[in-house]
Structure 1
Amino acid sequence: MNLTKKILIALVAGALVGLGFNIFVPEAVFNGFDEYLFTPLGQIFLNLIMMVVVPLVLFSIILGAAGLGDPKALGRIGGKALIYFMATSVIALSLAISLAYLIQPGEPGLMGDLDETYQADEAPPVMETLLNIIPQNPIEAMASGEMLQIIAFAILVGLALGRLGEKTKGIVKLVEQGNEVMMFLVGIAMKLAPYGAFGLIASAIGKLGLSVLQSMLAYMFTIIIALILHTIITYGGAVAIFAKRNPIEHFKAYIPVMAVAFSTSSSNATLPTAMKVTEQDLKVSKPVTSFVVPLGATINMDGTAIMQAVATVFIAQVFAVSLSFMDLLTIILTATLASIGTAGVPGVGMIMLAMVLSSVGLPVEGITLVLAVDRILDMMRTAVNVTGDSACAVIIDRYERKRLEKEVAAEPTES
């Protein structure tokens, strides 16, 4: 049985076990199983994956930048990636707002009194985030897992190695070997993925149960439909039109990554698996994979953006607040910029939602309405986020290959 089937079976089994514990077993008994079985299973897997994230990103981006050599090439790939991420975010937000108004998930006074004590953390200003991309201390950035700073440092080191050429070939060889070691460790960690997925899902479903899900069914249904449509239409269409690939085959190859993203709810935790599958199964070149996938894991949040839009309209409906057309445009603009401004910030989903609510004058306390089911939805939107990264990678890879073919064809031939 291949890894994909094992992970999918583990997800289903974990959901059934968690639901069974929630319905039939006393809470104290479930807490015991959760503390000594479910959570440790998930945590061991998460720790193994997170252990290799920083060195893997560092080595792979250094190799990618060194392989490109030319800063223009790096700027070209980065520019295309940013345009793709921004465009798909706008599409995701527009789709989510349209569905929220079509389905009307919120009813005035739906959830009764709110917890007025809720305080959302504030995100740093976008300009501060941009200025902080260059790390003052690269070692500190790696120790604290500041992905944007790690990416920036790795790009600069890679460009330096590419320009210095033969002088630094020993360092390049060492980085290549380090990258191989990290990929080997990823393979070991992935053997534990089914057990980790089982523990994470069983723990989440066991805590939530069905009662809280039923009261928020319309809200969840709206987000899930938006996520599915965005994945099939936007990503599938982009892969078919721009990458000239079969979307079904693309998604089929990427199922292991989606499953890991679903169980971990973390784009960074999914990053090692995503890079391995993108390069080996989707046949994307190493330079493109090394740059686009980590960048996407940091700033591409289409699934999160969908949640922001639906949650904002939902909260507005619960509070009986009418949003104008300009308010809707503000939601789209704020959520798109927030995906960059809050990159790498813990609890990014709720911070982005607080920013969006404030931008249209809705009470931040409304976040309390959606907190109960956010864990389940976080799994789904993370799976969508990482799928968008893969679509971007195959599209850019095709255009880079076509550009290389044209350059080769344009070279003068010897007579």
Structure 2
Amino acid sequence: MTLTQRILAALIAGLACGLLLSRVADLAAHVTPVAELIGKAWVGGLRITIVPLVFALIVTGIASAADAARAGGVAGRALLFIAIGLTASALAAGLVVEGLLALWPVGAGALGSLGLPAALPSQATAITGDWLLSFIPVNPIKSAAEGEMVPLVAFALLFGFAATRIDPGKRAGLVGLIHSLTDTLMVIVHWVLWLAPLGVFALATVAGSRAGIAAAGTLAHYIAIVVCACVAVTLLVYPVVRIAGGVGIARFARAVAPAQAIACSTQSSIASLPAMIEATSGPLAIREPVRNVVLPMAVSIFRITSAAANFAVALYVAALHGIAIGPGLFVIGALVATVVSLAAVGLPSQVSFFTSIGPVCLAMGVPVEILPLLLAVETIPDIFRTVGNVTADVALTLIVDRRRR
């Protein structure tokens, strides 16, 4: 069994165990606190890597992007479109989620059904001078220590761009050191993820013992909301291709359909690459030099539904906790989701789920304790994430080619 399958099995087993415990009050009173302690300890193990890993990923991501931009005009233009696309997808997904939650809100007691007994007080952030000043990383060490993700991300961006301006030899040494830091942190993350089935089982046991079958209903509602956000972003790609690429929607849909089918069955953009090459070289008639540069880059770093879905998850968790997201928090969440999703490329899905969504939640003042349970059901949204990513990769290659002509 893969790690994802083991985590999902642990979720189901934990909910079933918790449901049985809910019928034996005396046993539940002894078992539930122990399970809650184990679950919290495991979540703490994941959280200790978020701050340094996000900083390292952003810095190395900027360095890699700068090297690609220097490689030629095609790569530089592709990077510009990637940045625009990721930001637009996050904002669009956020609007879709807010609209869906207004029409189909989180049920009363949904937070309790997942094992968290108390909600945070509602809050909203207004766009003021003090709010804008909070972006400035006056003390990045303090920000890192207190988990303040917005100034930390701003500092990482500044640090990364500054690193591209120093002597190439020194830059290579600095980036190499940070790569080593990333690799070391990944070892810790893999150690923690090795225990993921135990942690998820413990958290699911708590949820099941406190709310029984209601936990499954809340998870189904979450899946539906995130899937709708991914589908909405994917559908927006088609009119963009028509407007920016000059290709009819029906023609593009026919060309990309085989790659989408492979993406749906494999949940892997890399596995869909041969079908994407066939689509871009045949039906869409994209020139080989452009295809050879842009398509591999797109597969590697242009995960359009990642920023969208990560922001959607953060908004859903905020709704679970009763946190009102004002315009300020909304913008902050979308921007952090964009930056972090671009930086977290190449990570395993189990790792990127937490390291990509955790910073978004922390930047918006949303607790992350519920994320492990949501990770356990990520398999279904991941299908729609991959289909959206493949669609956008082909669209990006097409648009860059048409804009070069």
Fold in common (TM above 0.5): yes
Q: Counterpart of 1:42?
A: 39
Shift of 1:335: 5.7
SS in 1 for 2:125: coil
Q: Shift in Å at residue 386 of structure 1? A: 8.4
Q: Aligned equivalents of 1:349 and 1:119: distance in 2?
A: 9
Cα distance in 2 for partners of 1:99, 1:236 equals 21
How far did residue 406 of structure 1 move? 8.3
Structure 1, gaps ≥5 residues long = 107-117, 255-281, 313-330, 351-373, 411-415
Distance in 2 of aligned mates of 1:194 and 1:170: 38
Equivalent residue for 2:141?
A: 139
Structure 2: gaps spanning 5 or more residues? 71-75, 109-118, 242-252, 269-295, 334-359
- 1:178-202, CA deviations, whole angstroms, 9 ceiling, x for partnerless residues? 1111222222221111111100111
Residue 87 (structure 1) shift: 1.2
Instruction: Give the aligned partner of residue 65 of structure 1.
Output: 62
- Contact 1:126–1:341 (CA<8 Å) still a contact in 2? no
Residue 52 of structure 2 aligns with which residue?
A: 55
Q: Map 1:139-158; keep pairs closer than 5 Å.
A: 139-158=141-160
Pairing partner for 1:179 from 154, 163, 182: 182
Match of 1:249 in 2: 263
SS in 2 for 1:195: helix
Other structure's SS at 1:126 match: coil
Contact 1:61 1:287 in 2 (8 A): no
Three-state SS of the structure 2 residue aligned to 1:157 is: helix
Deviations 1:307-354 (A, max 9, x none): 859x99xxxxxxxxxxxxxxxxxx9xx76654335765588569xxxx
1:85-114 residue CA offsets vs partner (Å, 9 max, x unmatched): 1112222333444457xxxx89xxxxxxxx
Matched residues, number: 313
Alignment of 1:157-172 (within 5 A): 157-164=159-166, 165-172=168-175
For residues 306 and 248 of structure 1, the distance between their equivalents in structure 2, rounded to whole angstroms, comes to: 31
**In 2, are the aligned partners of 1:62 and 1:157 still within 8 Å (CA)?**
yes
1:308–1:5 Cα change, 3 Å: closer
CA RMSD of aligned residues (A): 5.0
- Name the SS for the 2:123 alignment partner: coil
1:375 to partner: Cα distance: 7.0
Residues of 1 paired with 2:308 and 2:152: CA distance? 14
Pick closer, same or farther for the CA change 1:135–1:232 going to 2, 3 Å: closer
Relative distance call for 1:406 and 1:138 in structure 2 (3 A) is farther
**Residue equivalent to 1:301:** 312
Q: Is the 8 A contact 1:19 1:205 kept in 2?
A: yes
Worse-superposed segment, 127-136 or 387-396 = 387-396
- What is the CA distance between 1:120 and its match in structure 2? 2.7
Q: Distance in 2 between matches of 1:195 and 1:174?
A: 33
Residue 122 (structure 1) aligns with: 123
> Contact (CA 8 Å) 1:68, 1:162: kept in 2 or not?
no
Report how far residue 123 of structure 1 moved: 3.4
Post-superposition offset of 1:68: 1.6
Q: Quote the offset at 1:19 in angstroms.
A: 0.9
- Cα offset, 1:209, TM superposition: 3.3
Distance in 2 between residues matched to 1:41 and 1:138, nearest whole Å: 31
| TM-score, normalising length: structure 2 | 0.59
